[in-house]
Amino acid sequence: MFGIPTHLLAKVTATEAATAVTLPVNPIVIAALSFTPRHLFLRTSTQATSGNPNLLLRFNNDSGTNYNSQVLYGYSTTTGAWAGTSQTSMSLIGNIDDLSNTFSISETLFPDALSTRTHKSAVSLGGRLEEVVELGVGRWEDTATIASVTCLVDSSTFAAGSTFELCAVDESYLISGGETINTGTAQFDKSSISAADGDLVIIGNLRSDVSSNIEELGLRFNGDTTDGNYIRQRMTGHNNSITGAYSSASNAVSHTAAANADANSFSGFIAQIPNFSDGSNDRIALTLGGGHFSDSDQQLAMMSLRRDNADAINRIGVAARNGTGWLANSMLSIYAVPKGQITRTELSGDASSVAFTSIPQTYDHLEVTAYVRDDRSATSDDILMSLTPVGGSNDTTDANYDTQLLQGAGSTLTAAQSAADRTVGNISSANETANAFGVLTITLVNYAKTDRHKHSLSVSGRAASATGIYFRSNRWENTAAIEAITFTPSAGSNFVAGSVFQLRGINPPAAAATDIETINGIAAANIEAVN
C-alpha cells in the first residue's frame, strides 16, 4: 500500500478451514527489532469456503460495540458508500470470494497502534477479484495498545491457503528527524529533507484544534502555502454519500477529526510522493485518509495532488487548514523508500516498454511504483501490465486479465468491470501540461505461489488540465509463478524520458524466521534465534 516499508511480525497460512485467525503482537519479536515500532500494517489474501462473507477485524479480543467504519466502493458499474457505528467488529473491505484459485486482497494501516495516546484509527483498501473494490477507514474506541488483530468472517469460513500477515512499519526508513509527536497544538512542517532516489511516504494520526467535528488537511511542498499552485482530484465517501471533486487551486487532500469530534478520536492519513528528489518535472502525490469523528460525521477520501513546480522536494508541510494546528498526541512519520529495492529504471530517452525480468522467487509479494508519462496525442493514456510465467512467454492476451475499477474524474465517481483488460492505471500524455506526470502504485500478492490466480491492487492518479484518481483490483487467470512484469502504453507509442519505474520485494527470505504457521487449525509461534 502506497510504498509503506514494512517488517513482518507474524504470518499465518491456514491449512484447513478457519472461522477466525488471530495475529499477536509478540513482545519477543518486538524486542528483537532494530527499531522502535509505531504503526502496524495488516495484509490478507483470503478465500471463503462458500458464499461471499465479509472480512471483519477485532483488536485485543474485544467483541463489544466499540467499532466504527466508513467505506467507499465500486461494484460492477455501481458506486456507493456506507457507514457503520457501534459495531462489534470493524468492516473495511467487504466480501471474500469462494471461487477456485481466487483469493481476495486487503491492506490496512493502523497509525500509532502501539501507543496509548488515542483511539485506534485504520486506513484500508481491498479488492474481491474483478468484482468489488473498497476503500475504508475506521476507529476502535479504545486507547489500549494493539496487542493482537483477529480476522474473522460474518458467515462461512476462511478456506485453506488463506494468508494473514501482521507487520510493523519499518522505522529504519524514517528520515532524519522524521517523527513528530505533538505535546501541544502545532502544525507539522519538516524541512531539510535529504535527496534520495525513491519515494517519500507520510503517515499521520491527526486531530485539529478547530471548533468543528471535521478538519481539512493540506499537503504543502517546500513551504508553498499558495493554493493556486496546487491541482487536485479527489473521490470521497461521507456516511452514505459519494462525491468527486476537482480543484485547480487547493492543497486540501483529506479530512481529519477536529476539536468537537468524539473524545480521543484521531484520523489516519497516508501519502506517497514518488521520485521526490527529481527536479526536472512536477511532483505529484497519492493520498488516502479520513476517520470516524462522531456517529453523524465520518468521511474518507482518496486524492491525487500536483504542485505546479518542478523543484525537488526538501520540505513537507501537513497543515490543519482551518485551525491553528494539530492537537497534542497528533503524530507524523516521514519515510524515504525504497532502499532494499529489487531494481529501478529511470528513462533517459523514450521507450516503448519497461520490463522487470528474472524476478527473484524469494519474496512473498511485489510492489511497483511508477512516475510516468507517455507520448499519446491526448491529455492521458492507460498503462497496461502483462505478466510472464516462470519458463514461459509474456502473456499479452487481454482475455486472460480481469479488472474492477473505481474512479473519480471532476465531480463524478464511476465504476467499471471488464473480463478482458490489462489496464492497471491512467497516466498523463503528450497534450497535458508540461512537466505533468502520472503516478502509479501496485501491490501484487503471492506472486510466486502456484495454487492461485495472481491478484493485484493498483492506485493511479494525475492532476493537471485533466485530472483523475483510479483504484483497481486486477486478476491474471493463471496459477503460474511470475518471473517478469512488463508495462506498455495503451494508445501511445512510448513512455517519455524522465519516467521512473521501481520494483520492491515485500517480506524478504529472512523474515521467515518470525513466521507463525497454522498447523491443524492451531497457530503456533515459530521463533528462531539468529546471532
Q: How far apart are CA 63 and CA 292, in angstroms?
A: 19
Q: How far apart are CA 38 and CA 54, in angstroms?
A: 28
**Over 70: is that where the pLDDT of 239 sits?**
yes
Q: How far apart are CA 107 and CA 101, in angstroms?
A: 20
Give the pLDDT score at 510: 61
**Over 70: is that where the pLDDT of 512 sits?**
no
Are 173-337 and 341-507 equal in CATH topology? yes
Computed over every residue of the chain, the mean pLDDT equals 91
Residue ranges with strand state E in 154-260: 163-169, 174-181, 188-190, 199-206, 214-221, 230-238, 241-247, 252-257
Domains of the chain, by residue range, sit at 6-171+510-525, 173-337, 341-507
CA 18 to chain centre: 27
Give the pLDDT score at 517: 41
CA 212 to chain centre: 28
Q: How far apart are CA 444 and CA 377, in angstroms?
A: 30
Q: Which helix (H) or strand (E) holds 27?
A: helix 27-32
pLDDT over 70 percentage in the chain = 95
Q: Is the dihedral of CA 54, 16, 10, 133 positive or negative?
A: negative
Lowest mean pLDDT among 90-99, 384-393, 436-445: 90-99
For residues 260 and 155, the model is more confident at 260
Cβ atoms within 10 Å of 387's Cβ, excluding its own: 24
C-alpha separations of 20 from 51, 64, 151, 308, 524 in Å: 16, 17, 6, 48, 15
Give the pLDDT score at 302: 95
423-438: average pLDDT: 94
Give the pLDDT score at 340: 58
Q: How far apart are CA 396 and CA 510, in angstroms?
A: 34
Amino acid making up residue 506: I
Residue 355 pLDDT grade (very low, low, confident, very high; cuts 50, 70, 90) = very high
Phi, psi (deg, nearest 5) at residue 31? -65, -25
CATH of domain 6-171+510-525: 2.60.120
Residue ranges with strand state E in 76-113: 78-87, 104-110
**Over 80: is that where the pLDDT of 528 sits?**
no
Give the pLDDT score at 165: 96
Give the pLDDT score at 348: 94
**Over 90: is that where the pLDDT of 466 sits?**
no
Give the pLDDT score at 530: 25
Say which CATH class 341-507 falls into.
Answer: mainly beta
Residue 92 pLDDT grade (very low, low, confident, very high; cuts 50, 70, 90) = confident
Question: How many residues can be counted in the chain?
Answer: 531
**Over 70: is that where the pLDDT of 489 sits?**
yes
User: What are the strands of the beta sheet with 252-257, ordered from one edge?
Assistant: 188-190, 316-320, 214-221, 252-257
Give the pLDDT score at 3: 87
User: Could you tell me if 371 and 441 are in contact, meaning their C-beta atoms sit under 8 angstroms apart?
Assistant: no
For residues 89 and 524, the model is more confident at 89
For residues 528 and 276, the model is more confident at 276
pLDDT tens profile 64-76: 999 999 999 999 9
Cβ atoms within 10 Å of 353's Cβ, excluding its own: 13
User: What are the strands of the beta sheet with 423-428, ordered from one edge?
Assistant: 354-356, 482-489, 380-389, 423-428
Give the pLDDT score at 513: 38
484-507: average pLDDT: 95
Residue in 180, 187, 184, 183 with CA at minimum distance from that of residue 324: 187
pLDDT tens profile 196-221: 888 999 999 999 999 999 999 999 99
Lowest mean pLDDT among 110-124, 274-288, 371-385: 274-288
Lowest mean pLDDT among 192-201, 243-252, 516-525: 516-525
User: Could you tell me if 468 and 325 are in contact, meaning their C-beta atoms sit under 8 angstroms apart?
Assistant: no
Amino acid making up residue 417: Q
Place of cell 532502499: 339
Residue in 359, 336, 453, 358 with CA at minimum distance from that of residue 400: 453
Place of cell 531494481: 343
CATH of domain 173-337: 2.60.120
